[in-house]
Chains A and B, each alone.
Chain A
C-alpha cells in the first residue's frame, strides 16, 4: 500500500513496518495450531464465576502476611534493581553492557528464583534477587535509552572537552529524571505482580495461596487473594508517594531482612557438579571420547528441545506481539483523559470525569493483573488446548499494560480547542501522534512476551520455557542452564533487532514536545 505514495516519508516507513509485522503474524497463524475444541466448559466456569462473586478469606493472618511479603519483595527488588540499573545505564552505550543487561532480563523471575533456590533455599534473599536482577536489566535499558534521548541542547552549550561524570549529572540526568522516576514507579507495580508470581514456586507471597486455591478448585478463596492483589496494585498511587518512600523502605527491610543461610557445600556442588554438562562430569576435557559424547549430548538436546523450543517460542511470540498491539490500541482510550473526559461526561465537572477515568483504568488494572497462567487456564477451558489460549493470555496481559502506558502518554498531547471527537479524534489526531511511541512500547514488550511464553506448560506448548521447567523438574540443571542461555541469546537477538528498528525509524521513547 505504500507504493501509492511517491515519497519515502517516515510515515510510510512506519506503515511498512506495521504491515510486515501483521503479515508475519498472519503467516504464523497458518503454521500453528489454533483449533477450537470446546465441549462443556460451563460447569467449571460457573464454579469460577460463583467463586469470583463470593470471595472468602480463609485466614486473615495468612492474607495479611502474604500481602506484606508481596509488597516487601517488590519494593526491595525494585530498589536494588534501580540502583543496579542506574549503574549499568551509565555504560549503556557499550555493546557488552547492553548484552549483559539483555542477558539478565531475559531470564524469567521464576527461573532466577529456581536457580537461587538451589543454593540459598526458600529464603528472603532468593525472593529479593529473583526480582532485583532482571529488573536491573530492564531499568538499565530504560534509563540508558532515556539518557540517549535527552534534548542535546544543554550539552551542546558546553565546551566539547571534558565530557565526564559531572557533565552527565548536570546536562543529562536532570532532563531524564522525571521520566526515570515515572517509569520506576510504574515498575513497582510490575514488581508486585512478579513478586506475587514468585509464590508459584514456593515463596510466601500472594501467588503461593492463589495458585494453591486455584489448583484445588477453591475459587472463593482464590478470589479473595486475587482481590487483595488488585487492591494492593490499584491503591498504590494513593499511598506510595516519593516522600514516604524512605519510611516504606525502612519498614520492608525491617519486616523482611534479606538473608539466607548459604551453605558453601551447596554452592560448590552447584557450580562444580550440577551445572556442568553431564558428559563432562568427572571426565577429562581433552580426550576425544569426551568431546564426542558432549557433541552427542548437545546434538540430542538440539533436536529434541532447543530447535522445537526456539520455533514454538518465536511463532507464539510473534502472533502474541501483534495481538498485543491491536489490543493495546483498542484499550488505550480507557486510560486517556482525551477520550474519557471528552465523552458524554464532558461538562459534568472534573470529579465525575476523574471517576470514570478511574473506572477505565481499573479495567486495565484488572486485565493486566490477571496472571497469564489463570487466563491460560480459563482460555483452555473455553477454547480447548491449542496456541489460542496462550495468545489470548499473553495478548490480554501485555495489551492492557501497553494500553495503560499509551493512555498516560496521550495526556501529554495538547490538542487544538476545536479538535474533533470520538473516532475521528482517535484515528486522525491521536493515533498518528502516538504511533512511534506505540511501536517503541511494543518492541519493549517483545522480549517480555518471549520470556513469558515460559509459563504456559499447562497448554502443552513446548516453548523453550517449557523445556527449562522440565529440566528443573528432572534435576538436570546442566540442561536447564544451557536452555536458559539459548533463550537469553534469543532475547538478546530480538533486543538488538528492536534497537535497530528503533534507530531506523527514529522511534522516540520520551514524550515528544508538540
Chain B
C-alpha cells in the first residue's frame, strides 16, 4: 500500500501522543479502525504462500538447503505453497512471526515463549523428541582447572565466562538460571568477565582457544561437533550437564485457519508429527517430532521472568 507521507506522519505523531497520555482509549481505537481497513489488502496479498522460518542456531550456511527440503515436504502434505525464509538472529525470527511475515517457526524454548507472548493465540504444536529433555553443557578450558563433576562445579566462580547468543535458551537462559541458583548471584558479579559469543559454535571455539575459561553450550551442537572431529578434547571438556528442560518447538500463529481453511492447523500438526524421513529429520537434527502445548513451556516462562529476560505482567 502507498503511504501519503505528511498526513501519515501527523497521524502517527498524534497516535503516539494519544497513547502516551492515553487519556482515552477511544482515541486509539478510532484511528486504528480507520487505518486497519486499508491494511487488509496487504495481508490478503501475503496470504497465498504459507511461510515459515527457523532460528539460526548452527550450521547457518546450509539452513536454506536444509529447510527448503522441509518446505517441499510441507507443500506436498498440505497442498498449499510453502516457502522458507532464512533469518539472521533469534530476534529476527520472532519479529517476522510477530509481523505475520512468517506463520510458522522452528523456535528455541525462549524465542518460542517470546513469540507466543507477542502473538496472542499462537500455539506450540510440535517439539523434537529430544526437546522433551534437552540440556546444556558447561564446558571449560583445561587451564581453568575446573574438573568434571556430577554436582554444580562451584570452582567456576571468578573465572571468565561466555554465553552464546543473548536470546538462546540453551546458551543463555538455562545456564544463567543454574548459575544464579547454585552460586547465588548474577553472572556479571560472579565471573570476572562475561561475554556473549553469538552462537554455540563460536562458544566452543572461544573456550577451546582459552579466550574464555568457561562457556555454556547447547548439548546437541557439542555432540555433533565432537562427532565431526572439530573439538580438541585435550583443550576443552564438559564439566557439568544441566538438568533437562523443554526446548525447541514448532509454533504456529493462531489465525492460520482463517487464511488456509478450518482444519489447517490440525493438518499442519499432523504433517509435522508424521515427518519420518531420516533426511528431513536430520535438518533439525531430531529423531522424531512429538506433540507439544504452550503449557509445556511454563518452566521456560518462569525462568525467563526470574532472570529478567521477560516482564512478569504482560
Residues of chain A touching chain B, judged by Cβ–Cβ distance below 8 Å, are 33, 37-41, 43-44, 58, 117-118, 121-122, 199-202, 208-209, 211-213, 215-218, 221, 261-268, 271-273, 275-276, 278, 280-286, 377, 380-381, 384-386, 457-460, 462, 469-470, 472-475
Tell me which residues across on chain B come within 8 A of A285, comparing CB atoms: 20-23
Q: Does B3 contact A (CB under 8 A)?
A: yes
Asked if residues A473 and B167 are in contact (CB atoms below 8 Å), the reply is yes
Complex interface residues of chain B between 138 and 154 (CB less than 8 A to chain A): 141, 143
Asked if residues A271 and B201 are in contact (CB atoms below 8 Å), the reply is no
Q: Does B118 contact A (CB under 8 A)?
A: yes
The 5 closest A-B pairs by CB, nearest first: A39-B210, A460-B195, A202-B88, A272-B19, A264-B35
Complex interface residues of chain B between 42 and 58 (CB less than 8 A to chain A): 42-43, 45-46, 56, 58
Tell me which residues across on chain B come within 8 A of A44, comparing CB atoms: 205, 208-209
Tell me which residues across on chain B come within 8 A of A263, comparing CB atoms: 1, 39, 42-43, 99
Asked if residues B15 and A40 are in contact (CB atoms below 8 Å), the reply is no
Interface-side segment among B67-75, B90-98, B264-272:
B90-98
Q: Does B122 contact A (CB under 8 A)?
A: no
Interface-side segment among B25-33, B176-184, B278-286:
B25-33
**A147 to B188 alpha-carbon distance, docked (Å):** 49
Q: How far is the CB of A103 from chain B (nearest CB, A)?
A: 17
Query: Which of A216, A217, A272 has the largest count of B CB atoms less than 10 A from its CB?
Result: A272
Task: Say whether, besides A39-B143, A263-B43, A385-B160, A216 and B20 are in contact (CB < 8 Å).
Answer: no
Tell me which residues across on chain A come within 8 A of B39, comparing CB atoms: 263-265
Tell me which residues across on chain A come within 8 A of B61, comparing CB atoms: 58, 209, 212-213, 216, 218, 221
**Residue from the list B89, B211, B230, B310 in contact with A380, Cβ < 8 A:** B211
Asked if residues A262 and B3 are in contact (CB atoms below 8 Å), the reply is yes
Task: Say whether, besides A261-B1, A263-B42, A458-B196, A216 and B35 are in contact (CB < 8 Å).
Answer: no
**A39 to B89 alpha-carbon distance, docked (Å):** 30
Give the nearest-CB partner of A272 in chain B.
B19
Give the nearest-CB partner of B38 in chain A.
A264
Asked if residues A262 and B91 are in contact (CB atoms below 8 Å), the reply is no
Asked if residues B202 and A460 are in contact (CB atoms below 8 Å), the reply is no
Q: How far is the CB of B311 from chain A (nearest CB, A)?
A: 7
Asked if residues A200 and B88 are in contact (CB atoms below 8 Å), the reply is yes
Give the nearest-CB partner of B99 in chain A.
A266
Task: Say whether, besides A212-B61, A381-B211, A268 and B35 are in contact (CB < 8 Å).
Answer: yes
**Residue from the list B46, B96, B194, B230 in contact with A261, Cβ < 8 A:** B46
Task: Say whether, besides A263-B39, A473-B167, A381 and B209 are in contact (CB < 8 Å).
Answer: yes
Asked if residues B160 and A272 are in contact (CB atoms below 8 Å), the reply is no
**A380 to B215 alpha-carbon distance, docked (Å):** 15
Asked if residues A284 and B23 are in contact (CB atoms below 8 Å), the reply is yes
Tell me which residues across on chain A come within 8 A of B194, comparing CB atoms: 460
Asked if residues A473 and B91 are in contact (CB atoms below 8 Å), the reply is yes
**A275 to B20 alpha-carbon distance, docked (Å):** 10
**A213 to B230 alpha-carbon distance, docked (Å):** 15
Tell me which residues across on chain B come within 8 A of A457, comparing CB atoms: 166, 195-196, 198
Asked if residues B211 and A385 are in contact (CB atoms below 8 Å), the reply is yes
Asked if residues A121 and B35 are in contact (CB atoms below 8 Å), the reply is no
Tell me which residues across on chain B come within 8 A of A208, comparing CB atoms: 88
**A213 to B58 alpha-carbon distance, docked (Å):** 11
**A399 to B189 alpha-carbon distance, docked (Å):** 34
Q: Does B303 contact A (CB under 8 A)?
A: no
Q: Does B81 contact A (CB under 8 A)?
A: no
Tell me which residues across on chain A come within 8 A of B118, comparing CB atoms: 475
Q: How far is the CB of B235 from chain A (nearest CB, A)?
A: 7
Q: How many residues of B contact A (CB 8 A)?
A: 71
Q: How far is the CB of A47 from chain B (nearest CB, A)?
A: 9
Tell me which residues across on chain B come within 8 A of A33, comparing CB atoms: 193
Task: Say whether, besides A475-B94, A475-B118, A271 and B3 are in contact (CB < 8 Å).
Answer: no
**A472 to B94 alpha-carbon distance, docked (Å):** 11
Task: Mark each residue of chain B from 233 to 258: 1 if its CB lies under 8 Å from any CB of chain A, else 0.
Answer: 00100000000000000000000000
Give the nearest-CB partner of B32 in chain A.
A268
**Residue from the list B3, B19, B188, B197 in contact with A458, Cβ < 8 A:** B197
Q: Does B12 contact A (CB under 8 A)?
A: yes
Mind listing 28 A-B residue pairs with CB under 8 Å?
A37-B160, A37-B211, A38-B210, A39-B209, A43-B208, A44-B209, A58-B61, A121-B96, A199-B88, A212-B60, A215-B60, A217-B201, A263-B39, A264-B39, A265-B32, A265-B39, A268-B31, A272-B19, A285-B23, A286-B23, A381-B209, A384-B211, A385-B162, A385-B211, A385-B212, A458-B202, A460-B193, A474-B166
Asked if residues A117 and B235 are in contact (CB atoms below 8 Å), the reply is no
Query: Which of A33, A44, A212, A286 has the largest count of B CB atoms less than 10 A from its CB?
Result: A212
Q: Does B87 contact A (CB under 8 A)?
A: yes
Complex interface residues of chain B between 186 and 230 (CB less than 8 A to chain A): 188, 193-199, 201-202, 205-206, 208-212, 230
Tell me which residues across on chain B come within 8 A of A459, comparing CB atoms: 195
Asked if residues B22 and A40 are in contact (CB atoms below 8 Å), the reply is no
Task: Say whether, besides A202-B88, A262-B3, A460-B194, A121 and B101 are in contact (CB < 8 Å).
Answer: yes
**A277 to B99 alpha-carbon distance, docked (Å):** 21
Give the nearest-CB partner of A466 in chain B.
B196
**A254 to B10 alpha-carbon distance, docked (Å):** 31
Q: Does B133 contact A (CB under 8 A)?
A: no
Asked if residues A271 and B92 are in contact (CB atoms below 8 Å), the reply is no
Asked if residues B88 and A272 are in contact (CB atoms below 8 Å), the reply is no
Tell me which residues across on chain B come within 8 A of A262, comparing CB atoms: 1, 3, 42
**Residue from the list A211, A213, A284, A460 in contact with B162, Cβ < 8 A:** A460
Give the nearest-CB partner of B58 in chain A.
A216
**A199 to B56 alpha-carbon distance, docked (Å):** 14
**A117 to B94 alpha-carbon distance, docked (Å):** 12
**Residue from the list B15, B31, B91, B198 in contact with A472, Cβ < 8 A:** B91
Q: Does B296 contact A (CB under 8 A)?
A: no
Asked if residues A39 and B141 are in contact (CB atoms below 8 Å), the reply is yes
Q: Does B136 contact A (CB under 8 A)?
A: no
**Residue from the list B18, B167, B230 in contact with A474, Cβ < 8 A:** B167
**A90 to B286 alpha-carbon distance, docked (Å):** 61
**Residue from the list B8, B167, B206 in contact with A381, Cβ < 8 A:** B206
Task: Say whether, besides A272-B16, A458-B195, A41 and B209 are in contact (CB < 8 Å).
Answer: yes
Q: Does B114 contact A (CB under 8 A)?
A: yes
Give the nearest-CB partner of A214 in chain B.
B202
Q: How far is the CB of A478 from chain B (nearest CB, A)?
A: 11
Give the nearest-CB partner of B101 in chain A.
A121
Q: How far is the CB of A387 from chain B (nearest CB, A)?
A: 10
**A427 to B198 alpha-carbon distance, docked (Å):** 45
